[in-house]
Amino acid sequence: MAMPKDTYYLTAHCPGNLGTVDVVTRYLREQGCYVVEMQTFDDVLSRHFFIRAEFRPPAGQPFDEAAFGNGFAPRADGFNMQWQLTASHYRPNVVVMVSRLDHCLNDLLYRYRTGQLAMEIPAIISNHPDLQRLADWHHIPYYHLPVDDDNREQQEAQVLGIIKECDADLVVLARYMQMLSPALSAELNGRAINIHHSLLPGFKGANSYHQAYDKGVKLVGATAHYINNDLDEGPIITQGVEVVDHSHYPEQLIAKGKDIECITLSRAVQYHIEQRVFLHNGKTVVFTS
């Protein structure tokens, strides 16, 4: 059943101490808010606490986000708590970057168009012109910025300019086959998601699925993660895997891999949009739906 559109997400994390759950739940009760969903995690190794509460404000009256925050802030400060309040109906701006492969972009656009992913896509950026027509069909501006060793710094400056102009909350690399510079990776820290197949690191390069077939691979999968300066080694958000066997030829492995990439990437984007992901100590805490 679809949740009412007037719910809010209260997310917070802080050092693990007695009363961390109570400070959130007690305040919500005092404000007359009904908790729809709540998830918590106490990391005993790092002694850090994480909480996500989805709640519905009292019916029949407007919800004052500023007043709610002003009332909660002093209580959160007592626990050294970092917190955020987000309306579930808020649609973040998501800039998508892509090269020639269209399966992840096409899947994201479908989920965007049908409302499965509550977001806006103000721009698509590519280093190739191939997917211009797909963007045009969705009435989304398409920026073709070819990249080579001579113009990489200049083109990245344009990429960052577009991201800022779009006021992007998130950047999704939907099979964008270019490495980002350390400077751009740092600028997008915690708000850029990449997808790659999980044949890495054993089978690299353009013919990775053919290499995997030659070795009799038994699993194919995909990993969605936040980017950082280590290629394909950023904090993992979601992973998908499926069993294969000797009857799967390279073309079938590729098709199955593309399906898993689409599902894994869209799930990671959904979790980010719904404030289900916490970054902490170089890895993630993810409250799945």
Strands (E) across 88-169 are located at 93-98, 120-126, 142-144
Contact 158, 119 (CB under 8 A): no
For residue 185, the one-letter residue type is: S
Six token digits for residue 207: 């013919």
| Cis before 201 (ω within 30) | yes
Neighbouring residues of 141: CB distance < 8 A, sequence distance ≥ 6: 122, 123, 124, 135
Catalytic residue among 42, 43, 232, 259: 232
Distance, in Å, from the CA atom of 40 to the CA atom of 132, rounded to the nearest integer, reads: 43
Residue 102 bears catalytic tag: no
- CA-to-CA distance for 266 and 272, rounded, in angstroms? 10
**Minimal CA–CA distance to 11: which of 84, 116, 86?**
84
Cβ pair 177, 206 in contact under 8 A = no
Catalytic residues: 232
